[in-house]
C-alpha cells in the first residue's frame, strides 16, 4: 500500500471554512494601510542565503537553526525567507527607492518559513503582514506605526486583549558597552546559567535577557540594565516616542528585557502581546533598524517597521469569537433547471442576472438531477431563494421563485422582471 500523502509538518492548509477570516483580516489591514498612505510591495519568497546571514545576523536562532536553505541546480545557496525585512531592504536598495533621502512607507504580506518546533501559534510556514518605513529618523514615525496597529486592534475588537511592550536598545556603540558589562556580570555566574544561555554568552548575549529559564531570570535581577547605558540621542528619541504615545492615549509597558531575536534592531523595539494564546502570545513585533541599509552597502538610511503574525491573529479572532457572522453568509440564490433546453436557458439567464445585479451570489445547479435532489442541494447551499426553470417555465419565459427560509408562497416571475423582483426580495431582511 502506498503511504498517504500528507502536508509537511508545520505547513498548514487553510481550508475554505477559514479563508473568510483570513480575507477579513487581510482586507481590513489593506484598507487601514491605504488610509495611512502606505504602498504595497511584493517580494520573492526565495533570496540568496547571504542576505539573511548578513541582515538578520549569524548567532541568531533564525539564521543558525531555523532557515530552509538549499543549493539550486546552479549550486547557489538559496533560502526560503524567514522574515520580510531583509528582502524589503534588498529590494529598495536594488531599485534605488530610498535614493536622495526619499521617504518610503511600504507594506507586504505573504508566507515566511522557519524550521521551528511546531505548536499552537508557531508553524514552519506562517504568514506575516509587514510594514517598513525608510528615511524617517524621528520618533514620530515610530509612534505612527504603533497607533496604526492600535487602530487595527480597535477595528477587530481586540483592543482589550493585547498590550504593548516597549524598549529602547540604544545605539550600536552604547549596546556594545552594555554587552561587555552584561557578559562580565554573567561570566562570573556562568555555572548557574542554563545551557542555552551559556551558549548565548558568546554568540548573542543580549538574548539571554529574554531567557524563559527561571534560574537565569533570577540571576538577571542584579544584572546591569540596558537603560543605564542608553546614549543621550537614543534617550531623547525614546522620550519623544513615549510623549507621542501618551498624547495618543496608548498605554504601554516598558520592558527593559525586550531585545528581539533579530540582530538588526537599534533604539525602539516593541511587541504587542496577548495572554489569550498560551506561550505564542506575540501577535505583532518590530522596531528600528537604522544600521541595516548601510550594512548592505547602501548610504546610511533610517528604517523602522513591524510584522504581524496572521495565523496568531486569526487564532485570536476565533478564540474570542470575534469573526463577524456575516463573513460566512451563503449564496443568495440557487438556480435549478430541469431538462437540457432549460439548462441552456438557465446558463444565459444566470449571466444576465449577474450583469444586472453586481455582488449577487448565485449558484447554478450543476450535474442535473431530479426535483428532489436539486431542492436538497438548494437547501444545503443556504440560499434564500431557489429559482426554478423547467419545460413549462421555459415555454412562457418565466421562473418559479421559491423562498427557502420561510413559508411564504412560491411566485412566478417573468424573466424581464426577475432582476428587479429579486433586488426587492433580497433587500428585505
Ligand atoms: P518576528 O518577531 O520574528 O519579526 O516576527 C514577527 C511576528 O511574526 C511575530 O510576532 C509572530 O506574530 C509572527 N511569527 C514569527 N514566527 C512565527 C511562527 N513560526 N509561526 C507563526 N507566527 C510567527 C520579524 O519577522 C521582523 N521582520 C519584524 C520587523 C519588520 N521588524 C522591523 N520590520
Burial of 36 (0-12, 13-18, 19+ CB in 10 A): middle
Mean pLDDT along residues 249-254: 98
Beta strands in 330-405 (DSSP E): 333-337, 362-364, 385-389, 398-403
User: Ligand 1: does its nearest atom lie under 6 Å from the Cβ of 132?
Assistant: yes
**Domains of the chain, residue spans:** 19-170+230-319, 329-423
- pLDDT averaged over every residue in the chain: 95
Q: Which strands make up the sheet holding 333-337, listed edge to edge?
A: 362-364, 333-337, 385-389, 398-403, 411-414
Cβ 298 vs Cβ 308: under 8 Å: no
| Stretch (H or E) spanning 79 | strand 77-80
User: Ligand 1: does its nearest atom lie under 6 Å from the Cβ of 282?
Assistant: yes
User: Ligand 1: does its nearest atom lie under 6 Å from the Cβ of 82?
Assistant: no
CA–CA distance, 214 with 212 (Å, rounded to integer): 6
Cα(307) to centroid(ligand 1), Å: 6
Q: Which CATH number applies to 329-423?
A: 3.40.50.800
- Give yes or no on whether 19-170+230-319 and 329-423 have one common fold: no
**Which comes out higher in pLDDT, residue 263 or 104?**
104
- pTM comes to 0.93
In this structure, what are the phi and psi dihedrals at residue 49, rounded to the nearest 5 degrees? -55, -35
C-alpha cell at 56: 538578520
Burial of 361 (0-12, 13-18, 19+ CB in 10 A): middle
Share of the chain above pLDDT 90, in %: 91
In this structure, what are the phi and psi dihedrals at residue 73, rounded to the nearest 5 degrees? -70, -15
User: Ligand 1: does its nearest atom lie under 6 Å from the Cβ of 178?
Assistant: no
Q: Which strands make up the sheet holding 46-48, listed edge to edge?
A: 46-48, 77-80, 68-71
Each residue's pLDDT tens digit, 68-78: 999 999 999 99
pLDDT at 313 over 90: yes
Q: How many helices (H) and strands (E) does the chain have?
A: 15, 16
Mean pLDDT along residues 368-376: 95
Looking at the DSSP bridge assignments, the partners of residue 399 are 413
Q: Which residues are annotated as a binding site?
A: 83-85, 114, 128, 132, 260, 264-265
pLDDT at 1 over 90: no
Cβ 145 vs Cβ 164: under 8 Å: no
User: Ligand 1: does its nearest atom lie under 6 Å from the Cβ of 55?
Assistant: no
Q: Which residues are annotated as a binding site for L-histidine?
A: 83-85, 114, 128, 132, 260, 264-265
Each residue's pLDDT tens digit, 259-312: 888 889 999 999 999 999 999 999 999 999 999 999 999 899 999 999 999 999
CA–CA distance, 26 with 32 (Å, rounded to integer): 10
Residue 204: the pLDDT is: 87
CA–CA distance, 128 with 284 (Å, rounded to integer): 9
pLDDT at 378 over 80: yes
Q: Which CATH number applies to 19-170+230-319?
A: 3.30.930.10
Residue 329: the pLDDT is: 79
| Stretch (H or E) spanning 40 | strand 39-40
Q: Whose CA is nearest to atom 13 of ligand 1?
A: 309
pLDDT-derived band of residue 3, with 50, 70 and 90 as boundaries? Answer: confident
Cβ 98 vs Cβ 104: under 8 Å: yes
CA–CA distance, 321 with 271 (Å, rounded to integer): 23
Residue 429: the pLDDT is: 66
User: Ligand 1: does its nearest atom lie under 6 Å from the Cβ of 210?
Assistant: no
Angle at 28 between CA 24 and CA 31, to 5 degrees: 140
Amino acid at each position: 500500500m502506498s503511504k498517504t500523502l500528507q502536508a509537511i509538518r508545520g505547513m498548514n492548509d487553510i481550508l475554505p471554512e477559514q479563508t473568510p477570516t483570513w480575507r477579513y483580516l487581510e482586507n481590513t489591514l489593506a484598507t487601514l494601510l491605504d488610509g495611512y498612505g502606505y504602498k504595497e510591495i511584493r517580494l520573492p519568497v526565495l533570496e540568496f542565503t547571504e542576505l539573511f546571514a548578513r541582515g538578520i545576523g549569524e548567532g541568531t536562532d533564525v539564521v543558525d537553526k531555523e532557515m530552509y536553505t538549499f543549493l539550486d541546480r546552479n549550486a547557489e545557496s538559496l533560502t526560503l525567507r524567514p522574515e520580510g525585512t531583509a528582502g524589503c531592504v534588498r529590494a529598495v536598495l536594488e531599485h534605488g527607492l530610498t535614493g536622495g533621502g526619499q521617504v518610503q512607507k511600504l507594506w507586504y504580506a505573504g508566507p515566511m518559513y522557519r524550521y521551528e518546533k511546531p505548536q499552537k501559534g508557531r508553524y514552519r510556514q506562517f504568514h506575516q503582514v509587514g510594514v517598513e518605513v525608510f528615511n524617517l529618523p524621528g520618533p514620530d514615525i515610530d509612534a505612527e506605526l504603533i497607533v496604526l496597529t492600535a487602530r487595527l486592534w480597535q477595528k477587530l475588537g481586540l483592543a482589550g486583549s493585547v498590550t504593548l511592550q516597549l524598549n529602547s536598545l540604544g545605539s550600536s556603540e552604547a549596546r556594545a558597552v552594555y554587552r561587555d558589562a552584561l557578559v562580565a556580570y554573567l561570566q562570573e555566574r556562568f555555572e548557574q546559567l542554563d545551557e542555552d544561555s551559556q551558549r548565548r554568552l558568546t554568540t548573542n548575549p543580549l538574548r539571554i535577557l529574554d531567557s524563559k529559564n527561571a534560574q537565569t531570570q533570577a540571576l538577571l535581577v542584579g544584572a546591569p540594565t540596558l537603560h543605564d547605558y542608553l546614549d543621550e540621542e537614543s534617550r531623547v528619541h525614546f522620550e519623544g516616542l513615549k510623549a507621542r504615545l501618551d498624547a495618543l492615549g496608548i498605554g504601554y509597558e516598558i520592558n527593559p528585557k525586550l531585545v528581539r531575536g533579530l540582530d538588526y534592531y537599534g533604539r525602539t523595539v516593541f511587541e504587542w502581546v496577548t495572554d489569550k494564546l498560551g506561550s505564542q502570545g506575540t501577535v505583532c513585533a518590530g522596531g528600528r533598524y537604522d544600521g541595516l541599509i548601510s550594512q548592505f552597502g547602501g548610504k546610511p538610511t533610517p528604517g523602522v517597521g513591524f510584522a504581524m503574525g496572521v495565523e496568531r491573529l486569526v487564532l485570536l479572532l476565533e478564540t474570542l469569537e470575534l469573526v463577524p457572522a456575516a463573513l460566512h453568509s451563503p449564496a443568495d440564490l440557487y438556480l435549478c433547471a430541469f431538462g437540457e433546453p432549460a439548462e441552456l436557458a438557465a446558463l444565459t439567464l444566470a449571466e444576465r442576472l449577474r450583469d444586472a445585479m453586481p455582488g449577487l451570489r448565485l449558484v447554478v445547479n450543476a450535474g442535473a438531477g431530479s426535483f428532489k435532489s436539486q431542492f436538497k442541494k438548494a437547501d444545503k447551499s443556504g440560499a434564500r431563494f431557489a429559482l426554478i426553470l423547467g419545460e413549462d417555465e421555459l415555454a412562457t419565459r418565466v421562473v418559479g421563485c421559491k423562498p427557502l427560509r420561510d413559508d411564504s408562497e412560491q411566485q412566478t416571475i417573468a424573466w424581464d422582471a426577475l432582476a428587479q423582483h429579486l433586488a426587492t426580495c433580497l433587500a428585505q431582511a
